[in-house]
Amino acid sequence: MTDGLVIVDKPAGITSHDVVSRVRRLAGTRKVGHAGTLDPMATGVLVLGINRATRLLGHLTLTDKAYSGTICLGVATSTDDAQGEVVSRAETDALTETAVRSGLAAMVGNIQQRPSSVSAIKIDGRRAYDRVRSGEQVELPTRSVRIDAIDVVGIEGALVDIDVRCSSGTYIRAIARDLGEALGVGGHLTRLRRTQVGPFGIGQSRTLEELADEFAVVPIAEAAAATFPSVVLEEAEATAVGYGRPLQRRLADDAEVALFDASGRFLALYRNEGEKARPVAVFL
């Protein structure tokens, strides 16, 4: 089995760990991990690593994400989504499109956001959404997030379709909840689909059924080249890197850099340290 990434189009109703279990069986290896957990309700892009690429997951630059979703105004729920219990209802006839758009526009930028209680954040080793769905009261502290854009795709009655571009750690359920609160009517999320994670989009993803028919893997070298600055080394330096030795020079980029030999084989991630570049992780 090729070492690399598998870009899954996660279905609704199962956890990210369930997806990992399915892919382990399809790949014939237990060395499968995932980056960027999706809650059970959500669908869309989930990035998995196979074999050596599991070690790459923690280094991948996957901070920029994109989602599509549907907000239902006028109904607030215990989980900020359609799976929770209704906690309040309000009339929405007086709401205007201008008010909805203004409420969403106010959330764009660097903001403090309180995550949804059904997020995948762990509290004492247990996911918040597990605690909520077993009847516990969960209140998470606010955190700094960046929302680059919220585009209103359509409004039909109390339903608002949106596209969101944001940083890791942003909760679309919280956007729905906060919009409802700002408008004084309550709100929750009825649909959530992740369409982009870093350089990996929904067009590259495969459903579990498609992967069962044809197991598509992004080779580890291709994945590294897509997500890191890259340098091709001459033979002597490539040999040194294979042994995890520092390069006797600085690299042009101060971020983690993917190093390749002349044949295109991915060797390691290195970072500048003083006047040398030292290994962060070697993949041989």
pTM across the whole model: 0.89
Cα–Cα distance for residue pair 61/36, rounded to 1 Å: 11
Q: Among 113, 208, 205, which Cα is nearest to 168's?
A: 113
pLDDT given at position 78? 86
Which residues, listed in sequence order, are joined to residue 67 by a DSSP beta bridge?
Answer: 164, 194
Select which of 3, 9, 39, 81 is catalytic. 39
SS3 101: helix
What is the rounded CA–CA span in Å between residue 100 and residue 105? 9
Compare 150 and 227 and report the one with higher pLDDT. Answer: 150
Question: Which class for 213: exposed (0-12), middle (13-18), buried (19 or more C-beta within 10 A)?
Answer: exposed
Q: Which two tokens stand for residue 225?
A: 């080249």
Is 39 catalytic? The answer is yes
Task: Show the DSSP H helices in the chain as ranges.
Answer: 16-27, 54-57, 97-105, 128-133, 172-183, 208-213, 220-227, 235-242
Residues 206-221 pLDDT 10s: 999 999 999 999 999 9
Residue among 16, 41, 20 nearest 30 (CA): 20
Q: Any idea which residue has 């909805």 for tokens? A: 100
Q: Which residues contact 54 (CB under 8 A, 6 or more apart)?
A: 31, 32, 33
Does residue 13 register a pLDDT over 80? yes
The per-residue pLDDT for 126 is 73
Which pLDDT band holds residue 132 (cuts at 50, 70, 90)? Answer: low
Query: Three-state DSSP class for 94?
Result: coil
What is the spatial distance between Cα 77 and Cα 64, in angstroms, rounded to a whole number? 28
Confidence (pLDDT) at 133? 66
Distances (CA, A) of 14 to 66, 136, 217: 20, 21, 22
pLDDT digits (tens, 9 = 90+) for 219-265: 999 999 999 999 999 999 999 999 999 999 999 989 999 999 999 99
**How far apart, in whole angstroms, are the C-alpha atoms of residue 77 and residue 61?**
34
Lowest mean pLDDT among 90-99, 137-146, 183-192: 137-146
